[in-house]
Amino acid sequence: MNTDSLDLDSKQGRNLIDYFLPLKCDACSGIFCADHVAYAQHHCGSAYQKDIQVPVCPLCNVPVPVARGEPPDRAVGEHIDRDCRSDPAQQKRKIFTNKCERSGCRQREMMKLTCDQCARNFCIKHRHPLDHDCTGEGHSEDEALQRALELSLAEAKPQVPSSQEEEDLALAQALSASEAEYQQQQAQSRSLKPSNCSLC
Phi and psi torsions of 103, nearest 5°: -65, 135
Please compute, for residue 128, the number of CA atoms within 13 A of its CA located in the half-sphere on the CB side: 3
Beta strands (DSSP E) in 3-64 are 23-24, 31-32
Is the confidence at residue 60, as pLDDT, over 50? Answer: yes
Q: Distance between CA 145 and CA 149 in Å, rounded?
A: 6
56-66: average pLDDT: 88
Secondary structure (3-state) at 88: helix
Scored b (16 or more CB within 10 A) or e, 74-104 reads: ebbeebbeeebeeeebeeeeeeeebebebee
Q: Distance between CA 39 and CA 194 in Å, rounded?
A: 108
pTM for the model? 0.28
Across the chain, mean pLDDT equals 75
Is the confidence at residue 92, as pLDDT, over 70? Answer: no
Is the confidence at residue 16, as pLDDT, over 50? Answer: no
Q: Which CATH superfamily does the domain covering 98-134 fall into?
A: AN1-like Zinc finger (4.10.1110.10)
Is the confidence at residue 93, as pLDDT, over 70? Answer: no
- Per-residue pLDDT, 133: 79
Please compute, for residue 177, the number of CA atoms within 13 A of its CA located in the half-sphere on the CB side: 6
Range of lowest pLDDT (5-14, 20-29, 91-100, 130-139) = 5-14
Residue 4: pLDDT band (50, 70, 90) is: very low
pLDDT in tens, 110-137: 788 888 777 788 888 888 888 887 776 6
- Per-residue pLDDT, 87: 67
Q: What percent of the chain has pLDDT over 90?
A: 0
Q: Rounded to an integer, what is the distance from CA 13 to the centroid of its chain?
A: 55
Q: Distance between CA 88 and CA 164 in Å, rounded?
A: 55
* Extents of the domains making up the chain: 1-50, 52-95, 98-134
- Per-residue pLDDT, 158: 60
